[in-house]
Every structure is written in C-alpha cells, then in structure tokens.
Amino acid sequence: MPHTPRFARTPIPAVIVGILILTGCSPSAGSASEADGAAPSPPSATDYVALGDSWPHGGHCGGCTTFAGLYADGLQTALGATVAFDNRTTNGGDTQSMLADMKSDEDLRDSLSRAEVVMISTGPNDLDSAGALSSLGSGTCGADSACLTDLYGLWEENFAAILEEIAKLRGSAPTVVRLVTPQNIFVSDPSIAPAYGLPEDFGTTTGLDISRKLAEIMCTAASDHGGHCVDVVQLFNRPDGTTPRDENTPESHQDLADALVATGTAELDS
C-alpha cells in the first residue's frame, strides 16, 4: 500500500475543526486515577473505560494527553468524585477488532461490566481494512459505489453490535455511553487522496460524504442504544465539513473533552 494515513496502523500527523451534536483516549499524563488495565477501583469511584484507535490513544501526538484522558479529568470535576480511568485505546484497530476484543478478552469484559462510563472512538481504520479507499482509487469500487455501500453496512452492523455487547455486560446498571466520531480526515490531511490515486477534491466531495455517513451511523447507533455522540465533523470542520483542523493539538483535544463533558451524565441520576 502506498500510504499509511491516520486510519492505518502506522500513525501520521492528521488535521481537524466546531459544533457539538448530541445523539449520542489515550494516555493522559496526570489524568484522573488512570489505570493501565482493569485494576479494582475504590468503592466510591466512578469507573470509566475508553475504547478506540490511534487518535484517542495518542499515536499521532507522541503520546500526548488526548481527549480520552482529559474527559476523565472533566468527569471528575463535573461529578465531584474520583474517576477510575481504564484506558483500553489501542494504536490501530477498527470496529471489527474492537468487537472481537469485547467478545473474547475476559479482562476487558470484566472492566466493561463495571464501567459506569464508556467512551468509544473508532471507525476510520475500516476504510483501509475493508479496502474501500484502494477500490475507489483503482476504479474497482463497483457499480453505484458498491464498496462504500458494503462499508456502510459493516459500520452499521459493528457499531450496533459493540453497543449491544456493552448493554449485555452492564445489564440493568445505568451507563453513560458516548461515541466520538472522526473528523473529515480527507480535508484535514490532503496527502491521503493522492496517495490512493483519488482526485484532489476528494476531501470536499466523496471524502466528505464518507465522513458525514460515518458520523450519522455512529450517532444513530448511540441514540438507538440510549447514548449520545459528539459529531466531530461539525465540531472541527464547521457545518459545511470542509474546514481543516489539526486534531492533535492540545486545544483540539481539550475542546473535544469539553464537548464530551457537556453531554452530561444524566444516565447516572436515574
């Protein structure tokens, strides 16, 4: 493959930009009670598990404090209680690998069964693992962009299954479920399109459509399962989805953490 963008296994710089949509992580130096595994929490602690790929993991900012860890800090302030942060983000992976881990990793399953707060941010890697970008670039996507139709179906199925698995593990316990969509990475990282043989305006055309569709799928899944999402296409790329922004600056990560905190924790009040 000629290129390894943010959604591929090898991290590269990416770029992203503002408005929060409610329908609906990473190493964090100094973040609230961070755990590197599923260590037992104090009885009074609120357990928070972060799931996601290299962006929330910090793979594109040298292991910086990302929105996943900053959200833990914001939750602690908002709740006025200790937050035990179990950081399960990974530098790579996609919706398929996340779902597989949730079904097979007993340590992760135990942690999720105790998590009052779960944050999920993944999806772009499926563009690569499903071969959609390569097919688009080579002209083999199929009639009526069949490769994208297949990809969208994969996203719908996997996000629904991920949230259903969390619901099974939590049972009747109240759970704050928050999904964070990717931004329009194609407009923020213009090197992606030519590397795949895609047109120069891909970020403002098909790439924008893909980004908006992923956000729609994630936010619908969150809403259908009693959660909320933050639509980062709108939060970072403005309403038209075409304004680039560096998603890896401290300001970007803090803005996203603030957007997550702003969704509240009403589920825990019931």
- The domain segmentation of the chain, as residue ranges, is 34-269
Contacts of 97 (CB under 8 A, 6+ apart): none
Contact 207, 187 (CB under 8 A): yes
Quote the CATH superfamily of domain 34-269.
Answer: SGNH hydrolase (3.40.50.1110)
Contact 46, 83 (CB under 8 A): yes
Contact 113, 44 (CB under 8 A): no
Give, for 34, the enclosing helix (H) or strand (E). strand 34-35
The closest of 259, 121, 207, 113 to 105, measured between CA atoms, is: 113
* Terminal alpha carbon distance of the chain: 50
pTM of the model: 0.86
Per-residue pLDDT of the chain (270 residues; tens, 9 = 90+): 333 445 543 333 333 333 333 334 334 444 454 455 555 554 579 999 999 999 999 999 999 999 999 999 999 999 999 999 999 999 999 999 999 999 999 999 999 999 999 999 999 999 999 999 999 999 999 999 999 999 999 999 999 999 999 999 999 999 999 999 999 999 999 999 999 999 999 999 999 999 999 999 999 999 999 999 999 999 999 999 999 999 999 999 999 999 999 999 999 997
